[in-house]
A and B are shown apart, each in its own frame.
Chain A
Amino acid sequence: MASASKPYRRLPGTGYRYLIPGWTIVLLFFVIGIFALFFRGRRVQLWQGEEHLLFVEWDGSREYYKRFPYRDIQAFIVQGTNEGRIISAILAAVVLIFGALALAAGDPGGRIALLVVAGFFGLLLLGHALSGPTCKGFIRTAVQLEELPSLTRLRRFRKVLERLRPLIEAAQGQLASGEIQARMQEASQTPSGGETIPGGTVRYVVDDPNAPPRIIP
């Protein structure tokens, strides 16, 4: 648990809200060098608080905060992506190309240099493969669906979820797997926020908490 002196505990993962697609940044690196990193946008991290999950964005000079109270978190959604496979394929191709060039090189010095480059990309490939499949994570409340750029690996996402689950369940209670269907049916049958007049008829219904009530004649 977070102590009074340290109200937040860092959750695994750091991501960026890219201003341009990631592959464009890689291409730009060859044009403007290290300055391509300016296009990474804000750095995103998640911090675990006592009552809420804190979403922190940092732009280099300011920090921006969004709070997600545990009692209001409705769902975590994770979508598997192909990004990991594409990156693996590109890295494997680079390793193969430099490996083949090293084998074909006659000069021993050149061969070692090419093998070092192939080894460097091979290590990147290994690290990438060990990190597991990639994903996009989202958090949903009654009023928003927020992407979590810091959770881009499935394993990391599950790890974070396992750390947050007890806190959310402590705030909301547990939801048994058989209970979901019953609750869905109950929710779809009973209009929320409706008012019953003596005759037993519902005068208005609130199907969407963010929209005005719908009057039923």
Chain B
Amino acid sequence: MNAQTIQCPRCKREVGETSFNQPDLTQCPSCGASLQVQVFPALFRRFAPGTDGELLMVEGESSCFYHPKKKAEVPCDACGRFMCGLCDCQVKGQHLCPACLESGHRKKTIQGMEDMRMLHRRQAFVLALIPFLITGIAAIYMAIRYRKEPGSLVSPMHWAVPASLILGSLQILGYLLLIVLIVKS
């Protein structure tokens, strides 16, 4: 993706700066599609080229744990291993090696890197609403099993655990009552 240029989503041709930050829709000069482009200063920000790590020049100099022929530049903030410029991953001001970054992503220990969450609480609540005997039992099991698990990042649904327990129990009680009534009759 080229910096400083915006492409028309339809024809993928470049849209001129005359279309930027206009109050209303303008026409794409190439395909005539109606467009509105709102740009921000980040579009013009320059990026410093990434480093690939300096090679070792002196015998006995500290080297990168992953690239023994490259000079160590910074230690990993999590495991302390020395890293070259290529291995240094900066996340929220921390210097992490690729292995710690991967492990942090997997274990969800790096804040702001979580990209997926299972919504067991919501599933338990949905199960509690479905009126089959087995769903009530499953709802109670899920509500207890995953009660401490963080819910959705945006709407955690803390009420779903007690609600699932109550609805699931009511479901089971209802079925038990039904069985008793059938047996009696």
Cβ-closest chain B residue relative to A144: B1
Contact status B40-A209, CB under 8 Å: no
Contact status A80-B41, CB under 8 Å: no
A binding-site residues for B, Cβ under 8 Å:
8, 10, 45, 47, 54, 56, 58, 61-67, 71-80, 136, 138, 140-145, 154, 161, 165, 168-169, 172-175, 177, 180-181, 183-184, 186-188, 192-193, 206-210, 213
A119 CB to closest chain B CB (Å) equals 32
Chain B contacts for A180, CB-based, 8 A: 17, 20-21, 39
B180 CB to closest chain A CB (Å) equals 35
A77: contacting residue among B2, B36, B46, CB under 8 A: B36
Chain B contacts for A142, CB-based, 8 A: 1, 3, 42, 45, 47
B176 within 8 A of A: no
Contact status A136-B9, CB under 8 Å: yes
| A73 vs B4: C-alpha distance when bound (angstroms) | 13
Chain A contacts for B57, CB-based, 8 A: none
Are A181 and B17 CB-contacts (below 8 A) given A61-B123, A79-B34, A192-B3? yes
| A210 vs B118: C-alpha distance when bound (angstroms) | 33
Chain B contacts for A63, CB-based, 8 A: 116-117, 119, 152-154
Chain A contacts for B56, CB-based, 8 A: none
A79: contacting residue among B35, B40, B46, CB under 8 A: B35
Contact status B41-A62, CB under 8 Å: no
| A184 vs B43: C-alpha distance when bound (angstroms) | 9
Chain B contacts for A8, CB-based, 8 A: 153-154
A10 CB to closest chain B CB (Å) equals 7
Q: Could you tell me the dominant secondary structure of chain A's interface residues?
A: mixed
B39: contacting residue among A54, A175, A193, CB under 8 A: A175
Total contacts A-B at CB 8 Å: 132
Are A209 and B3 CB-contacts (below 8 A) given A63-B116, A65-B114, A71-B42? yes
Given pairs A74-B39, A142-B45, A187-B44, 10 additional interface contacts (CB within 8 A): A10-B154, A62-B119, A75-B38, A75-B40, A75-B43, A78-B36, A80-B34, A169-B40, A187-B4, A193-B48
Contact status A208-B3, CB under 8 Å: yes
B76 CB to closest chain A CB (Å) equals 23
B binding-site residues for A, Cβ under 8 Å:
1-4, 6-10, 17, 20-21, 25, 33-49, 112, 114-119, 123, 152-154
Contact status A64-B116, CB under 8 Å: yes
A213: contacting residue among B9, B46, B49, B119, CB under 8 A: B49
Contact status A77-B6, CB under 8 Å: yes
Contact status B153-A54, CB under 8 Å: yes
Contact status B48-A74, CB under 8 Å: no
B181 CB to closest chain A CB (Å) equals 33
B30 CB to closest chain A CB (Å) equals 13
Q: Can you report 22 residue pairs joining A to B where beta carbons are below 8 Å apart?
A: A10-B154, A61-B119, A62-B118, A63-B116, A67-B112, A71-B42, A73-B42, A75-B39, A75-B40, A79-B10, A79-B33, A80-B35, A138-B9, A141-B42, A145-B1, A145-B9, A154-B25, A161-B38, A192-B46, A192-B47, A193-B48, A207-B2
| A136 vs B34: C-alpha distance when bound (angstroms) | 10
Chain A contacts for B6, CB-based, 8 A: 75, 77, 140
Chain A contacts for B33, CB-based, 8 A: 79-80
| A144 vs B42: C-alpha distance when bound (angstroms) | 13
